[in-house]
Amino acid sequence: MAEDLPESFVERPAEFDALIRLLRDPEREEPIAMTAALRGAGGYGKTTLARALCHDSGIQEAFDDGILWVTLGENPGDLKLKVLDLVEVLSGERPGYETVEAAASRLAELLADRDILMVVDDVWNAADLAPFLRGGKRCARLVTTRNRSTLPASVRAVDGMPCAARRPCNCSLLGSPAGGDTDRRARSPPRRVARAPEAGERNPAGACGGRREA
């Protein structure tokens, strides 16, 4: 699962509700296939807000094929390994691909028609984000970043409310449709979150929606 929320967590209902509206159909309670982004200055609490979203029961029910989490950072290291972590979570196998392109293609195949939410946390560069945006016509992405330039040009902005952390913050919510069929198939919801390991961390892969969970 995504990490527990800290005791010092400050709720930001305006931003949280805006993300919910971007990612889940409020009437049919179904996922919306799109890429959404939470943008804000360092220390705003983007990662914590994303974690809160992953723990929301409505999001877990909507994305009943699982929730994936990968953290990049300013220096993400070998992107191929980050992509392969998600491939392993979804397939239970870790192919020996030599390039990030090959790994990203396999990830796109595995996303296919699954109702999955993928969180790509702490993105600093557009090139680092690109491998995680491929495929998955029913997959939604939530990107956290402090830099607008890291996001696809097609995003549409939704103004964020001032932070509730006793100080103003330059933040906004952004979303762009991913397209694809939004019809829903009956599934048994696993309600699990899969997380790719941090650098130097042992891969904690386990079950996720009948597959492996990190």
More confident residue, 199 or 179: 199
Instruction: Choose from 57-66, 98-107, 187-196 the range with maximum mean pLDDT.
Output: 98-107
Burial class of residue 203, CB neighbours in 10 A (0-12, 13-18, 19+): middle
pLDDT at 120 over 60: yes
Residues 187 and 178: their CA atoms lie apart, in Å, by 22
Average pLDDT over residues 187-198: 48
Residues 81 and 67: their CA atoms lie apart, in Å, by 19
Q: Is 21 helix (H, G, I), strand (E, B) or coil?
A: helix
pLDDT at 96 over 80: yes
Average pLDDT over residues 19-32: 80
Number of H helices, E strands in the chain: 6, 9
pLDDT tens-digit readout, 134-157: 989 889 999 988 888 888 876 644
* Across 1-5, 39-43, 126-130, least confident range: 1-5
pLDDT band for position 202 (cuts 50, 70, 90): very low
Superfamily the domain 13-176+188-213 falls into: P-loop containing nucleotide triphosphate hydrolases (3.40.50.300)
Q: How many CA atoms lie within 13 A of 211 on its CB side?
A: 24
Q: Where in the chain are the domains? A: 13-176+188-213
- Could you tell me if 158 and 34 are in contact, meaning their C-beta atoms sit under 8 angstroms apart? no
Residues 91 and 111: their CA atoms lie apart, in Å, by 10
Residues 18 and 26: their CA atoms lie apart, in Å, by 11
Eight-class DSSP state of 31: B
- In the chain, % of residues over pLDDT 90: 37
Residues 43 and 52: their CA atoms lie apart, in Å, by 16
More confident residue, 180 or 80: 80
More confident residue, 43 or 203: 43
Using only C-alpha atoms, what is the Rg of the chain? 16
Residues 124 and 72: their CA atoms lie apart, in Å, by 8
Token pair of 180 as six digits: 């694809």
pLDDT band for position 35 (cuts 50, 70, 90): confident
